[in-house]
Chain A
Amino acid sequence: MPRLLEIHKASKAFHSPEGGTITALDEVSLSLSSAEFLTLLGPSGCGKTTLLRAISGFEPLDRGQITIDGQEMTDRPAHRRPVNTVFQRYALFPHLTVGRNVSYALEIAGTPKAEIRTRVGEMLDLVGLAGLGQRGISQLSGGQQQRVALARALVARPKLLLLDEPLSALDKNLRRQMQLELKRLQEELQIGFVFVTHDQEEALTMSDRIAVLAQGQIQQLGTPEDLYRHPANRFTAEFLGESNLLPVALHDGAAILADGQRVPASGRGTSTLMIRPEMLGTAPVADGLTFAGTIRERFYSGTSNLLIVETQAFGMLQALLRADAPIAVPGSPVTLYAGRADLHIIPGGAT
């Protein structure tokens, strides 16, 4: 049984106006099973949009293959590919009403009028725009336009939906709400989503799997938990969430920290030990690491306290403590503990 989407060693380079070449995609391979929510995450310019456009057929690849539902897509023009896209700026047709925007794909496909009417109605219901079919596009708020774009892309019932930073134009509250709705829709309709964002929080909350991209290459592909707890390299560790990164020397089955503390680890050479701020606590842990230092700053956020602690051997460390944990004031000494299970040595992650 073929996967819904399979990308094999997709490569694409652009000629820059200055005369050089920019590698937008560098042998990117990934696959998606049906009804999976995959997020492409990465900094600006890393090739997310290019990859999406390669899937939808607007950007021909230099090398590599793309198959959708077992069918080879490489030479197929965009209008004959069984995917639909939600564009970053929505790209709604300004001269058509909301209803006609949504019905566009069905009109093109020659669907009978009566069926178009019921399906457009259903779609508008689904995205919470019932009764707005006669409105013009300019009479809608940003969030409503977002929903129209979604309805328009979903009405033809594609198996695969591509979304290019669909929420980036919305304000924070609306964004949160749309994240939940998108996830609900995706689960309800059981379609595959390839979702682009450069917001790591968004990626962590919504995705089944995340592909972290940098400079046209996939840095790591895995579940949000996987990526967060066991980043494969320094880039992923720093890009996803906050982290304390400490240089270690690998030796005789142990990682040796700068102050001489040891934890069991395999390999040799130098590497990087990652401790997430929330893994550091003030309660003593047997068999873990201990860091003594001075509190330099404290940020209270309601649910938590972020401490910036200065240590002699490692410089500044961040520790995220529960808000009700006993806290000393800035300037006073503190000892932080990390359990062994919460440590992660980044493979090959030399500093």
Chain B
Amino acid sequence: MKCVTPLGLYGVLFLAFVYAPILLVVVFSFNANPINMMIWDGFTLDWYRLIFGMEAKAAESASYIDSTAQLYAAVRTSFVVAFATTAISTLFGTALALAVSRFRFRLAGFYRGILLVPMIMPDIVLGIALLIFFVTIGANLSIGTIIVGQCTFLISYVFVTVSARLALLDETLEEASADLGATPLQTFRRITLPAIAPGVLGGALLAFIISMDDLVITYFVAGTGDTTLPIHIWGMLRRGIKPEINAIATLMLLFTLVVAAAGLYFRQKKE
């Protein structure tokens, strides 16, 4: 008993608190019991089969009818949105970070503050504001408005990660490059970009994951046509919690882990 310190106990409880629900979802996704998930009824891959539209012997009551095609469409929309917003927000976020750190202009500090606001703004408020804005200018709610809407706050995330990296960059390196004959563009490509690359990559991954995962703001600006994965899942849940959901959640978890691991790996390789 002497090795159980209060702090150690706290640590264990904390881990349980955070990870137990997630672990349960993963376990449930392999539980054959279609009615009560809390009762283990044997191992099955049926729920995964259902997602991929394969034959499964599961009872009809355990699945969302019609889900497969719509699920795929939602996944596709999510990917299109995530890639587009990642590209746009990485480009603009990086450019803004460079501008704010490199050029001395009045109100640079104010500008920096303004750029952080979308990150702390309540999602609901941003969602409503965007909806009203799009309606006012007469834009059709579609995949286009989702992309524009998400970029408004994703740019901030990229801005912050790139800015943090830029703060570490020694400006005399850029002067040394110019001194050796490099034009500003050459200096940017050969010195600045490699130095901030981990920040840019990190910002892009963050934007990608947040975009894939965003529900509230997307929900407001999505309209009725295009549906992203989180919105689709939200819709499914309103028809009751069925075991299939666990399998979808587990796959999303796996995907996020892979993306994050890739990010860490590339980052380590850079060092």
Contact = CB atoms under 8 A, between A and B. Distances in A.
Given A91-B170, A95-B194, A95-B195, A105 B180 contact: yes
Residue among B178, B180, B182 having the largest count of chain A Cβ atoms under 10 Å? B180
Contacts of A83: 179
Contacts of A314: none
A279 interface: no
A79 interface: yes
A108 interface: yes
Main secondary structure of the interface of A (DSSP, over half): mixed
Contacts of B180: 84, 104-105, 108, 152-153, 156
A136 to B, nearest CB: 11
Given A95-B194, A95-B195, A87 B181 contact: no
B63 to A, nearest CB: 53
Contacts of A85: 176, 179
Contact of B175 (A91, A94, A152): A91
Given A78-B179, A104-B177, A87 B172 contact: yes
Interface in A59-100: 77-80, 83-85, 87, 89, 91-95
B173 A93 contact: yes
A235 interface: no
Interface in A26-84: 56-58, 77-80, 83-84
Contact of A58 (B175, B181, B182, B187): B175
Interface of A: 56-58, 77-80, 83-85, 87, 89, 91-95, 104-105, 108-109, 152-153, 156
Contacts of B177: 93, 104
A80 B184 CA distance: 11
A93 B178 contact: no
Nearest to B171: A91
A95 B169 CA distance: 12
A147 to B, nearest CB: 16
Given A85-B176, A85-B179, A153-B179, 6 more contacts: A58-B178, A79-B178, A87-B176, A91-B170, A93-B173, A105-B181
Contacts of A92: 176
Contacts, number: 55
Closest 5 CB pairs of A and B: A105-B180, A91-B176, A91-B172, A79-B178, A78-B178
B231 to A, nearest CB: 42
27 contacts: A58-B178, A78-B175, A78-B179, A79-B178, A79-B179, A84-B180, A85-B176, A85-B179, A87-B175, A89-B172, A91-B170, A91-B172, A91-B173, A91-B176, A92-B176, A93-B173, A93-B177, A94-B173, A95-B195, A104-B177, A104-B180, A104-B190, A105-B181, A108-B180, A108-B182, A153-B179, A156-B180
A109 B181 CA distance: 7
A84 B191 CA distance: 17
A57 B181 CA distance: 12
Contacts of A93: 173, 176-177, 191
A78 B180 CA distance: 9
A287 B28 CA distance: 110
B142 interface: no
B186 A108 contact: yes
A79 B109 CA distance: 30
A58 B179 CA distance: 9
Interface in B175-210: 175-184, 186-187, 190-191, 194-195
Contacts of B184: 79
Contacts of B172: 87, 89, 91
Given A95-B194, A108-B186, A156 B179 contact: no
Nearest to A105: B180
Interface in B3-32: none
Contacts of A78: 175, 178-179
Nearest to A79: B178
B47 to A, nearest CB: 47
Nearest to B172: A91
A246 B162 CA distance: 62
Contacts of B178: 57-58, 77-79
A254 to B, nearest CB: 55
